[in-house]
Amino acid sequence: MTQTAETGLAELRAALAGTVIGPRDSGYDDARRLWNASIDRRPAVIARCESVADVQAALAYAGRHGLEVAVRGGAHNAAGLATVDDGLVIDLGAMHGVTVDPAARRARVGGGALLQHLDAATQEHGLAVPAGMISHTGVGGLTLGGGMGWLSRIGGLSVDNLVSAQVVTADGRVLRAAEDENPDLFWALRGGGGNFGVVTEFEFRLHEVGPMVQYGLLFWGLDQAAEVFRLARELIPTLPPEFNVVIAGLNAPPAPFVPEQYHFQPGYGLIVVGFGAPESHAELVERIQGAMPPLFAFTSPMPYVALQQLLDEPNAWGSHVYEKNCYLGDLSDETIAVFTEHFPRKQSPLSLNLFYRLDGAYSQVAEDATAFAGGRSPRYACFVVGVCPAPELMPAEREWVRTFWEALQPHAFGSGAYVNALGEEVSDDRVRAVYGAKYDRLARVKAEYDPTNTFHRNTNIKPA
Beta bridge partners of 385: 323, 352
State residue 121's pLDDT score.
97
CA distance 76 to 420: 9
120-124: Cβ within 8 A, 24+ apart: 120/305, 122/98, 122/206, 123/209, 123/210, 123/211, 123/303, 123/304, 123/305, 124/100
Q: Which CATH class for the 98-209 domain?
A: alpha beta
How many residues does the structure list for the chain?
Answer: 464
Max CA distance (Å), the chain: 69
CA distance 345 to 19: 46
Task: Identify the segments of the chain with pLDDT beneath 50.
Answer: 1-5
Q: Which amino acid is at 117?
A: H
Check if the beta carbon of residue 397 is closer than 8 Å to that of residue 346. yes
CB 52 within 8 A of CB 110: no
Rg (CA), the chain: 22
- 428 burial class (0-12, 13-18, 19+ CB within 10 angstroms)? exposed
Q: 180: which residues sit within 8 A by CB, 6+ positions away?
A: none
pTM: 0.94
Cβ atoms of residues 109 and 236 within 8 Å: no
For residue range 273-308, list pLDDT tens digits in order: 999 999 999 999 999 999 999 999 999 999 999 999
Whole-number pLDDT of residue 6: 56
CATH architecture of 212-421: 3-Layer(aba) Sandwich (3.40)
Domains 6-91 and 98-209 fall in the same CATH topology: no
**What angle do helix axes 333-342 and 225-235 make, rounded to 10 degrees?**
140
CA distance linking residue 379 with residue 233, whole number of Å: 11
- Alpha carbon separation from 238 to 178, 231, 309, 334, 360 (Å, rounded): 35, 12, 27, 22, 11
* 6-91, CATH topology level: 3.30.43
Cα separation, 368 vs 363, in Å, equals 12
- So what's the pLDDT on residue 374? 87
* b/e per residue 305-329 (b: at least 16 CB within 10 A): bbbbbbbbebbeeebbbbbbbbbbe
For the segment 410-464, what is each residue's pLDDT rounded down to a tens digit?
999 877 789 998 878 888 999 999 999 999 999 999 999 999 999 999 999 999 9
Domain ranges of the chain: 6-91, 98-209, 212-421
Strand 98-101 with 106-110, pairing: antiparallel
